[in-house]
Amino acid sequence: GYPGGAILPIYDELYSWEEKKLIQHILVRHEQAAAHAADAYARATGNVGVCFATSGPGATNLVSGIATAQMDSVPIVAITGQVGRAFIGTD
């Protein structure tokens, strides 16, 4: 996954799950790498791959990896953040 402002609440919760050894988070350098890593994980293990990205361009950067997985019927889940409705379209 790749953290960003809109998905930070999920990362706060993810931290506590990681401390309890319930989940392992792998920090990537770009959202596209997160999607391809989720795809690779699913192919290698047979489990569902999961990736995180923030809203806007972060979510858009997942598209190539999602498309690759979809074309080969590889199960991945992509989770993105989103700003509150009142803040959509504002900077």
pLDDT tens, residue by residue, 22-61: 989 899 999 999 999 999 999 999 999 999 998 888 999 9
For 89, which DSSP code? T
pLDDT tens, residue by residue, 59-87: 999 999 999 999 999 999 999 988 888 87
CB contact at 8 A, 63 and 76 = no
pTM of the complete model? 0.85
* Separation of alpha carbons 69 and 59, rounded Å: 16
